Amino acid sequence: MKKIALYLFAALFILAGIGHFLLDSFFIAAMPEWVPFRTAIVYVSGVVEILLAITLLNTSTRKPAGVFIAIFLVLVFPVNIYMAFTPEKFSVSEYALWLRLPLQFVLIWWVLKVRDVG
């Protein structure tokens, strides 16, 4: 069951990374206007998500990858807060934007659990 959870998490993270390229305007708008290099940040973070997911799948890099993914999720958390406080900028329900906040902690817990899969 843990192996399935590992592959599911990695797949979701890869899809999220790909989303940074397919839905780049959404991700760019998710950051405050005062943030410099928003477009570059979106593309780089998409690549980072894909690479971290791949390293999570490799047994020899899984443990550090899990930690780095958890750190990454903490670092992007302010974007989720910004989105929750500016729901009028997005075509997503305000409820969904607020629901993402605790979901981030679930993702952190999830990746820290699956990084121990042998």
Q: Is the alpha carbon torsion for 26, 89, 75, 41 positive or negative? A: positive
Per-residue pLDDT tens over the stretch 51-99? 999 999 999 999 999 999 999 999 999 999 999 999 999 888 999 999 9
Assign 118 a pLDDT band (cuts: 50, 70, 90).
Answer: confident
Contact yes or no for 97/90 (Cβ under 8 A):
yes
Q: Which residues contact 14 (CB under 8 A, 6 or more apart)?
A: 49, 50, 53, 54
The pTM of this model reads 0.92
Residue in this structure with the two tokens 């302010």, named with its chain if needed: 78
What would the two tokens of residue 102 be? 């605790």
| Residue 45 binned pLDDT confidence (cut-offs 50, 70, 90) | very high
For 55, how many CA atoms within 13 A lie in the half-sphere containing its CB?
Answer: 14
Which pLDDT belongs to residue 117? 83
